[in-house]
Structure 1
Amino acid sequence: MTNRKLYLGPLTDNRRWDMVDTRPDDVFVVTPPKCGTTWMQTIVALLFSGDPEVETELSIRMPWVDIRIREMPEVAERLEAMSHRRSMKSHTPMDGLPLDDHAQYLCVFRHPLDAHFSYRKHVRNVPMSWFDHWYPEEDADGITFRRFLDGGAEGFDGDAMPLAHIIQHYKAAAALADRPNVSMFHYADMSRDLPGIFAKVAELLDITHAPHVLDQLVQAATFSNMKANAERFAPSGGKGFMKSDTAFFHSGSSGKWVGKLKDKELSAYDAMMDTYLAPEERAWLEYGAGMHALN
């Protein structure tokens, strides 16, 4: 844990990374939850294989190292035994990860309100009750959104993904984005230009495929195809980890909060975003680089 911030919650523990020996060609997919993690992992898996029909098996082949569910010695042993190029997933901010000068770090973000409403759906779709008091099924009093705004960035609160945790994720990645091996992506840009995202990731990973193969890989990673084949693409798909694999790919849309938040709730969100982020930082975190094309 030398020079790394401690992120320790009921679901995740970034000390587990101490048991992983990083390789120079490793690829880390680093995101807050529900921000395009599985989507970016799928892009990496498709580019690695060059096969649009590849069985991604993300939870095994590209494991979420931070999560406590699997015993870490088993995860570390599995990673060490891999003779192919590896990719790993993390929901820990960049300042809590081992930083290698050669490994690639793909950091993915999404409009915080979209991520929040997607997470609301997600916690109802997994058979775990850790955050039921944060995300009550009946919430006429708006407890969930209050905790989204009030929660701290670390510890138990961090695993429940409050706004402070998302902002900390963003700032930790942005502080390292001048490095050639740390790249920032946005869910909205992935939605707007998936072929362009594939091309950028392929370049970063130094992977080349024939144009017709790349077209097939892009088609395989479209939201509609991933949802239609949810058992194949969802994390631990077909293994009963989630109540519904298809529900994991709920809609893939933006603007999920429109019409669902009161004016005072939106005002409180705006105030917090403006307190911690400069205008250009907020604009990117909410809408990505492609927002300029819409103006």
Structure 2
Amino acid sequence: MERHVKLTNGKKLRVCERGEGEHVVILVHGLTGNYKQMAYYQDALANNHRVICYDLRGRGLSDGADHPTSIDHHVGDLIDLLMTLNLNKVTLVGYSIGGYICAKVTALSSRVRSLILLDGAGVADYGQKDLILPSLQRLEKAYQSKADYIDFTKRTYEKLGVNWSRQLEEIARYETEVVGEKVVRHRSKAEVIKQDFDSFFDFHHEEVLPHITVPVLLVKAMGHIGAGRPLYFNESFSELEKIVPRINVLMTNANHFSLVFEEQKDVLNTIDRFLTNVIEDPSEV
């Protein structure tokens, strides 16, 4: 079921909800993505849980982002969403920027039962900009048609080591709109995305992490992006592993992008076991 949810701040988020389990899982997508980016995870988790995905503001069909925007603005929206939908004892799953958002919400809110970080909330480094900038280029261009945009996006992701799929094409169609004289553009503004990315470097791990006391599953995507490097190095997560007391870690050979754009059965199986333990006996996690 897809719908718009109006927050107490008056802004609207585009929400997709699936599954009817008692336990609620909320998925938060990546920097340039939208809720469809989390399809593999929503499909798998909806078998046993109520799973909610949504478009961050400035993405997809949600309202536009604040100016300037940052991770903290999205943190406020997620806390507002929990309150608006009256959700308690939820599991937050954050990918990329979603990891920072979910980590901070977990530190601030008593409504969170457990936290899953999909290659997110690590310590950012400036070498990441060379890996992120190619995915921003598609936001800055105008295209003659959706097919033109899809072709450009396909070539971009293949260079990043991601196999093109029907799911990726669906995401590409969803994130574009026709403007003006039949010109196709990405729904998100590059300036907004860059501001959000810059706020990665303003995330104060030493202030946030000590307040995360719930069970945590950290998934590290160690695969190289194209011929380069992982987005996050293993040591990028040292602060998380050192400070967060109840942390479980999975390392995968997937890279940062294939972690969500391709089905990762080992990751899904680990998440399933983690959630089962959280629900049945959280003291053992």
- TM-score above 0.5, yes or no: no
Q: What TM-score do you get using the length of structure 2 for normalisation?
A: 0.31
Instruction: Pick the structure with more helix per residue.
Output: 1
**Higher relative contact order, chain-length normalized (CA < 8 Å, sep 6+):** 1
What TM-score do the two structures reach when normalised by structure 1?
0.31
